[in-house]
Structure 1
Amino acid sequence: MGSRRGRVVALLVLAGLPPVVEQAALAAVPLHAARGLAPQVTAVWPYDSYHDLRWLLVYHDSWLTFVLGLLGITLARGLLSAGLTALAWPAGTPRPAWGWLVRRNLEVAVLAAVVISPWAALSVAFSAVALSWYLFASLGPMLVLAPFLVRAGVAAGWWRGLPTIELFGWSALNFVLLTLAGALISTTPGWWAVGVAGLAGVANGLLWQRTVADAALPARMRWRRVPVAPIAIVLTMAGAVWAQSLIGIAAPGPGVWRPPVLTERLPDRVNHAVIVLDGHDSDWEGEAPADPRVERFSYAGLDARGRPLPYPPAATHRSLDSSSVLLAAQVDALHRRTGRPVALVGQSEGSMVVRTYLEKLPPGPVTAAVMFSPLVQAGRTYYPPPGHEGWGVATGWELRVLFWLAGRPQPVKDDPDEPFVRSVLIDAPFYRNRTLCPVPGVRMIAFLPTVSAAEAPPGEYSRIPVYQQPAFHGGLIGQRMVEDRVIAFLAGERVEQPRREYGLLQRLGAAWQAPPLALSLNPVWSASREGDPARTGRVCEAR
């Protein structure tokens, strides 16, 4: 009994200590936005490998450091998991030799690195462009693979048959635990979070005890002769390629955006002329808005008469700087034609064009700006262009390979090196710190779908009025109540509707975001004097 109790104590100490160490390091640095990741360091497979790979894919600055880091985390993960498995082994059941457990868990660590790495790379891409589609897409495979990989570290014939429902349940419970622990740590101030991380690690140890027992003890198994695990692994890796056709580097909008401001005449109480900016991969065939005071922004520029030109989806892939120059020309042309102050209404990429224009060019006649689904704290990670080394070099090439494979039978519409994405990566200090900050002389509001809460790390995200509504990215478009609020804002009324659950959703997503790259580390960003919300949890800090 004493020996059994000692093994349990040792298991809980081994599971609880690494999260404490990581959380203490994050508090000392500090790196506020990554605090929710620490409990995953001793989670069951594959959440542990997902944790390791996200750190590695963000924090390597050359191929040498990537290869050495990959070897290091694979070795450390195999040894740690072998120790947790040995201590969690059920009493009364013969346990394999220590050498077999080490060898097997090293093999599982290699397998997990191969299978999980594409999804971890997508998670890093999510942090670069701040789109929740990547976050949600990368979590599904973790839930599916968990019971298979847990069995792999314990049982010789792990690749045949379905895992038991209990094993699915315990591994899913670990996902819930990690989500809640990340939220609680994000809420807990200062060094108190270290204790929370330690308690989460102890809970991981108890779940190791349950999952190892279920995997090791004989049980009635369905599909005993079917190689279910290899099928699941192949489908998971293929899914990382197929995902590109569905989500791309920037999630597409729902076809052509036709809000009432385009399809209906503006009421007399609106004194502005209005430019409407659609999002990434939108197109426009030249149809005129219902009101002559309203124009659709053209990513192709203006014709000889100063009127916006029709444009194809590929035109939206240009850099944000070049789009903002086109917007400046269109603002001046519309102001000259109407003699009215100009209001800008953008969604997704269009809202980022609006914010870039307001920052880098004189706002001139622009006195109001409406931003639908802006990218909240974009530019939290980085990868260099082809032919260069730097932070995230291996991540960039992994994304390029995924997109190349995705375009094999038919080309995908997006590219991880397209000018739009590179402009976000290059100007990351600005987009990370100032996207939702006020601009003198311009009334501003952000219409945020609640899903964008998962896109922003816990902490501040806006210092302009926000109107929040349950929806996915771009999903507020077409809601009549929201469109009425836009007209009210343009008419000069105060419009604001923050939702209480937004902060909670921010914290619940904290565990599953990739760690942000500190602004001070990247030479590409060294000329910037922006504050870093990743360290402080605050936005709009003075330069």
Structure 2
Amino acid sequence: MCRIRRRRPSFRWSLRETRSRTVRRNGVVLNRRFVGLLLVTSLVPMIEATVLVALGFRAAQGIPPQLTALWPYDTYHDLRWLYVYHRSWWEFALWLTYVLVARGLFTTGLVRLAWPAGVPRPSLGWLLRRNVVLGVLVGGFVAPWAAISVAASVVALSWVLLASLLPMFLLAPFLQRVAVVEHWWRGLPSISLVGWSLLNFVVLTVAGALCWAAPGWWTVPVAGVAGALNGVLWNRTVRAALLPSRVRWARVPVTPLAALLAVAVPLVIPPVTELVPGNEQWIRTAVLERPLPAAVTHAVIVLTGYGSDYGGEQPSDPRVQRFSYRGLDSDGKPLAYRSADTTRSMADSVALLARQVELLRRRTGRRVALIGESEGAMVARTYLARRHDATVDILVMFSPLIYAGRAYYPPPHHDEGWGVVTGWQLRVIFGLADVGGGPDEPFIRSLLDDAPFYRNQLMCPVPGVRIVAFLPTATATEAPPGEYSRIPVYQIPGVHGGLLDRRLLQERLIDFLIGKPIARTRAEYPLMQSFAAAWQAPPLPIEANPAWAGNRQPDPAFTGKVCLPAR
């Protein structure tokens, strides 16, 4: 007998063949499947939104629409929750396995419902194997960036959040083909796939803003509508992946090359942000390299930010002094320091600042104004919380880390604790990338250990002290939307550590030191806050973390307010 060989199913179809196989019955089946697809993709986000609203978890209410989004945003949604909410290695491994396999199974169902009528569909077993394997592969690719998004919620830096999001944005059009096309690693995605992937990002961004802005239980139907739009996008992307008009570079392994590019792009972000004129440069021009106007009656200490250095140069005005992260010499002059010295703990920096404030007051006989940028602003504000006396009655903060410490990971010698695996993954990532001193620097650990204060009290008034914060608009993307300050703020275009209109800032700074009240808000600031709501990692509740038991504060993630009195 002749042996009959089963032909392997082919996934190359022409548009003419597809049309010839489309009949009225298939159109009915398609409509039913399409309705089922919309029901599934809308119901699941509504369930998550219902839980978050019931818990009053305001800060995370922009996330549910991503639950049924296209690859890789759905996996990004899953892993951000997991990286924040696990307490041991075995718990992380168990939930990671469940999340990746469940995502593969769920995607299989979505692909079957989205499959266009008239196109031969592979067996259920083939789809299951393909999508479960895909779930694991995408999880491995997304995992480092999900961990970095948690790091972004610790340090509250917009460029770190952008670095975690860019790789997925760049690779998304390539991943849409993996679930349904046999040779998915070859060829460029079609213009349709690129367009649908871009639209998915826009939908998730706008939906996150609307979910957060919707009052009360209205968040649930808004999440449902966003999920239904995800269903439409699943329908269109599966069709676009199966019926490309023409595959360009059909023999080139474009997808692996795109993955390498996506990994490399975030490394360019820190150097690019340094091209924006920095605060330290204009602070030198405004305060350190020229005498202050006679109308300024205070002595001034300037605290520069993370990674700054100081060669021991003396300011031109004897009333002005540079804060040193190494302390003072025997004559009371600030010591030169290197960028590595800025990694010291907040407690050590506050102790050095207290000594410097005391000696400057003795030498000048004046009250002291503190001007701090980034880390320097955090040190100055922490000083006012821990050691404040009547000597300091003016604080100017440039680019403070708003709402830092929203997540946690324990020190390396701890085997358990919220985010234990996240901490080790960040240590590996920072070690391989050779970026900074890593996630366990004393300064970073200060933000983690004293997170309740920085989340609730950083931008609050201090009795007897005039305070203003100059905020670049990029800080709007660094924290969940809602109330973040009860002190005057002056918002101006720029990125963290770089404010663009330096001449205006010099004028406003001197005005404030003289005694004039200043404040300015920009209409785009709250809008940018809302649009970033979808991409923040969910914060860890203050009440949940035993490491924060000694510093309980009302949690803005639930109250939507800051500066509430500590319990």
- TM-score surpassing 0.5? yes
Distance apart, 1:253 and its partner CA: 5.6
**Residue 395 in 1 paired to residue 422 in 2?**
yes
Equivalent residue in structure 1 for 2:124, among 98, 109, 112 = 98
Q: Distance in 2 between matches of 1:455 and 1:199?
A: 27
- Corresponding residue of 2:83: 57
**Residue 147 in 1 paired to residue 173 in 2?**
yes
Q: Distance in 1 between matches of 2:301 and 2:336?
A: 14
- Corresponding residue of 2:294: 268
**Residue 519 in 1 paired to residue 542 in 2?**
yes
**Residue 486 in 1 paired to residue 509 in 2?**
yes
What's the TM-score once normalised by structure 1's chain length? 0.96
CA deviations over 1:6-51 (Å, ceiling 9, x no partner) = 1111000111011101111111112111111100000000010111
Comparing 338-347 and 1-10, the one that deviates more: 1-10
Equivalent residue in structure 2 for 1:25, among 38, 51, 60 = 51
- Corresponding residue of 1:115: 141
Comparing 300-309 and 349-358, the one that deviates more: 300-309
SS in 1 for 2:498: coil
Equivalent residue in structure 2 for 1:448, among 461, 471, 474 = 471
Root-mean-square deviation (CA, aligned residues, Å) is 1.7
- Corresponding residue of 1:346: 372
- Corresponding residue of 1:438: 461
SS in 1 for 2:487: coil
Distance apart, 1:247 and its partner CA: 9.2
Mapping 1:102-181, distance limit 5 Å: 102-181=128-207
- Corresponding residue of 2:553: 530
Equivalent residue in structure 2 for 1:285, among 311, 321, 329 = 311
- Corresponding residue of 2:6: none
- Corresponding residue of 2:220: 194
**Residue 337 in 1 paired to residue 363 in 2?**
yes
Distance apart, 1:150 and its partner CA: 1.0
CA deviations over 1:303-356 (Å, ceiling 9, x no partner) = 111111111111100011110111110001100000111000000000000111
Distance apart, 1:533 and its partner CA: 0.6
- Corresponding residue of 2:9: none
Distance apart, 1:414 and its partner CA: 2.5
Q: Distance in 2 between matches of 1:168 and 1:398?
A: 31
Distance apart, 1:529 and its partner CA: 2.3
**Residue 405 in 1 paired to residue 428 in 2?**
no
**Residue 85 in 1 paired to residue 111 in 2?**
yes
Conserved? CA contact 1:253–1:279, under 8 Å: no
SS in 2 for 1:413: coil
Distance apart, 1:387 and its partner CA: 2.0
Q: Distance in 2 between matches of 1:362 and 1:403?
A: 36
**Residue 325 in 1 paired to residue 348 in 2?**
no
Conserved? CA contact 1:45–1:146, under 8 Å: yes
SS in 2 for 1:344: strand
- Corresponding residue of 1:500: 523
Distance apart, 1:263 and its partner CA: 1.4
What's the TM-score once normalised by structure 2's chain length? 0.92
Percent of paired sites with the same residue: 57
CA deviations over 1:166-208 (Å, ceiling 9, x no partner) = 1011011000000000111111111101010000000000000
SS in 1 for 2:61: helix
Conserved? CA contact 1:130–1:378, under 8 Å: yes
The 1:128/1:319 distance shift into structure 2, 3 A limit, reads same
Unpaired runs of 5+ in structure 2?
1-26
Comparing 257-266 and 151-160, the one that deviates more: 257-266
Q: Distance in 1 between matches of 2:436 and 2:67?
A: 36
Unpaired runs of 5+ in structure 1?
none
SS in 2 for 1:151: coil
- Corresponding residue of 2:7: none
Q: Which of the pair has more CA radius of gyration?
A: 2
Distance apart, 1:477 and its partner CA: 7.0
Q: Distance in 2 between matches of 1:2 and 1:266?
A: 79
Conserved? CA contact 1:253–1:280, under 8 Å: no
> Letter of the aligned partner of 2:50 in structure 1?
A
